[in-house]
Chains A and B, each alone.
Chain A
Amino acid sequence: MMFVLAMRSVRQRPGRFAATLLSAFLGAAIIMTFNSMHDTAGAPGVDSVSAETLSTAAGVVGGYGTLLVFFAVASTLTVNVRQRSAEIELLRCSGATPAQIKRMVVGEAVAVALVGALLAIGPAMLGGRVLLDVFQDSGQVAESVDHTFGPIALYSGLDITVLAAAGAAFLAVRRVTTGRRRSRERGRTFLLRGSLALGGLSICATFVLSSTDAALMAPPAYGAILLSVGLALLSPRLLRALLGRLPLTGPSGYLAVRGLRVRVAQLSGVLVPLTLFIGMATATLQMQAVENDAIDAAGVPKSVDAKNLETLNLTVVGIIVVFSCIMLVNSLYAATTYRRKEFGQQRLAGATPGQVLGTVGIESLILTVTGVLFGTGAALAGIVSFTTVRTDAVLPDEGLGIWLGVVAVGAAATMGTSLLTAWRVLRTPPITTVALAA
């Protein structure tokens, strides 16, 4: 019964599932593309060096991919479920049990994820071929190796995407159907402390390795990721304390500060992807730049391992950038649309459209600065530890180019999404938006 309802709701309102579908599609495409390297490596007649390169790439990126699909699908589904709280409430009032609602939401998620994964097969086959070409062009894999898209790619892609979606949906709907607050707050505190502690440990582990160790980049990179997540979860608490002291006068500032202070608990949905994006992208790209310089300085040609590492780093950064952006844009879009009633009320109280946009702008600016600050902090921890061990310096001498580029992308995504969405919402007369959401 609930499955029929789930299918019907997917068919009736396909737009609502666009973000989930996109995350599932991209996630499945990435997982299948890289896992097809496992298939390729396993084919008969592949030499051991090529096989190792291929398997490493598949292992590392495949692992990341799984995590990211989970987070991205979870983020889009949480938003989706929250937007539909009225519909879910209605179902509950009509006699649907929590288990039935859970089945419906999980059913929808699985259906959407399956469609996304099936759609991803074609692009993943092409992507795998391109990826193999890249490896062959750089000499990491022998020219004789042919691309194989086999069962490992296909089943891992489908299974991981569908399972991640089901798990994410389960978590998202549990928050709606059961008494939420407490366990969630506790879980978040646990996650916060855990990621900060592990991140710190990971950074410290860098100093145990020697400057020529092949895996030298891994501990600071993981450290930067974990610290980004931890700091992002911590930032709403710090922001709450700081908000009262901001020198913001004027109507828009007044509303922005008071609005943020109340919504501070919900901000992690935006701050985590933003901080992760800034921290991860800056740390990885900057460390790769230091590594390249160090190899150049040593005057030896790049080894296959070094090239592998670079390819992997850039791929991982690329994937994380794309997924963080999806999560960021989706969360911001949903959060801003969700506030249409609030905007209408502000306008009925006498706010001009410009003042409302100003409020949204100031809020996004505060969020951007927070994300950039903590993301940079996390990245710096990784970069400094890596640079100290790899070279004689403490800080890399490349300048701020990479950081500025990353910050520009993050700021543009944050400010752009919020302001554009708010601008669209503001085109509806306030009396209509207030009535719509009521």
Chain B
Amino acid sequence: MFRRTGTERTGRTDRTDRRVQDHGTGAAEPALRLVKVSKTYGSDDSAVTALDEVTLSLASGTFTAVMGPSGSGKSTLLQCAAGLDRPDSGIVMVDGAEMTGGTEAELTKFRRNRIGFVFQQYNLLDTLTVAQNTVLPLKLARRRVHRGRVRETLTAVGLGDRLGHRPDQLSGGQRQRVAIARALVTEPSVIFADEPTGALDTRSARDVLRLLQDAVRVHGRTVVMVTHDPVAASYADSVLFLADGRLVGEMRRPTVDAVAERLAHVGDDVMAGA
């Protein structure tokens, strides 16, 4: 399960091929590992440290929520870990492979083979149908498309009868479910979700969170979700608390009340609990 490293890291260096490990036991390589990742925005006197030597390791097959007040660096953490932004220093490893600061194209290829995304604003392409949006990452990576599996995945998220619809014909909840199907279909090592329920009503939000849970429990994926909502966080296996760019605590088996309570005092109880 989840553990914070830095003090008790078991440094395995052998790189397992992710396909071998796909429906893995979760025992071997951590799905995501960050070592002393730092990121500063701006320069000189106006510089803001968004991430301050963050080190963490998430085992395969876990569902982790990242929480913290506005400006705590949680979005930066997600973007650096997901290869959407480049950290100033530190190492990001996904499924044993190190993300290096190569060209944008190299980074894209790294991402699309290992990482899935679910965004608050869905980011589906309006020009493509539900089915086409779902298979787009496969098409772009020139990977084979199993029509049966795509249909199966979309049926599993409750959209089996909407394959030919366009995103603008769907509700917010439905769009987010397409986004989840799209993230699942490439069988990524890690799925990053950035406020996935931020724009949804409570009912749709619950559906989306259950699907993310299923992605972990049924499909064996690893999910990292940034959220400010204690209800959303309570669906995760554990919650990481972030303040001023540092990890300040974690909570296993979170409940809504416990998360809300902790969140209210995050920052002033550094490193307590866990």
22 contacts between A and B (CB under 8 A): A251-B139, A258-B127, A262-B126, A342-B125, A342-B126, A342-B127, A345-B124, A346-B140, A347-B108, A350-B111, A350-B112, A350-B137, A352-B104, A352-B109, A352-B140, A354-B105, A355-B140, A429-B85, A431-B85, A434-B121, A434-B123, A438-B121
Interchain CA distance A261-B132 in the complex, whole Å: 14
Interchain CA distance A231-B104 in the complex, whole Å: 41
Interchain CA distance A414-B182 in the complex, whole Å: 34
Closest chain B residue to A350 by CB distance? B112
**Cross-chain contact B79 with A431 (CB below 8 angstroms):** yes
For B104, the chain A residues whose CB sits under 8 A away are: 352-353
**Cross-chain contact A349 with B137 (CB below 8 angstroms):** yes
Interchain CA distance A345-B84 in the complex, whole Å: 12
Question: Which of the four size classes fits the interface of chain B?
Answer: 20 to 34
| Residues in chain A within 8 A of chain B (CB atoms) | 250-251, 254, 258-259, 261-263, 342, 344-355, 429-431, 434, 438
The number of inter-chain residue pairs (CB within 8 angstroms) is: 66
Closest chain A residue to B111 by CB distance? A350
For B111, the chain A residues whose CB sits under 8 A away are: 350
**Cross-chain contact A262 with B136 (CB below 8 angstroms):** no
Chain B nearest CB from A425 CB (Å) reads: 13
* B144 in contact (CB, < 8 A): no
For B85, the chain A residues whose CB sits under 8 A away are: 429, 431
Given contacts A251-B140, A258-B128, A429-B84, contact A353 B108 (CB under 8 A): yes
For A261, the chain B residues whose CB sits under 8 A away are: 127
For A355, the chain B residues whose CB sits under 8 A away are: 140
Given contacts A353-B108, A429-B84, list 15 more A-B pairs with CB under 8 A.
A250-B142, A258-B128, A261-B127, A262-B127, A263-B127, A346-B136, A348-B117, A349-B123, A349-B125, A349-B140, A352-B105, A352-B108, A352-B140, A430-B84, A438-B121
**Cross-chain contact A346 with B125 (CB below 8 angstroms):** yes
* B270 in contact (CB, < 8 A): no
For A429, the chain B residues whose CB sits under 8 A away are: 84-85
Interchain CA distance A254-B142 in the complex, whole Å: 11
**Cross-chain contact B119 with A348 (CB below 8 angstroms):** yes
Most chain B beta-carbon neighbours within 10 Å: one of A250, A350, A434: A350
Interchain CA distance A352-B113 in the complex, whole Å: 12
Chain A nearest CB from B11 CB (Å) reads: 31
Closest chain A residue to B132 by CB distance? A258
5 pairs of A and B residues whose beta carbons are closest in the complex = A350-B112, A352-B105, A262-B127, A350-B140, A350-B137
Chain B nearest CB from A267 CB (Å) reads: 13
Interchain CA distance A438-B136 in the complex, whole Å: 21
Closest chain A residue to B124 by CB distance? A345
Interchain CA distance A329-B137 in the complex, whole Å: 32
Interchain CA distance A353-B107 in the complex, whole Å: 10
Interchain CA distance A287-B104 in the complex, whole Å: 51
Closest chain B residue to A251 by CB distance? B140
Closest chain B residue to A355 by CB distance? B140
Closest chain A residue to B108 by CB distance? A352
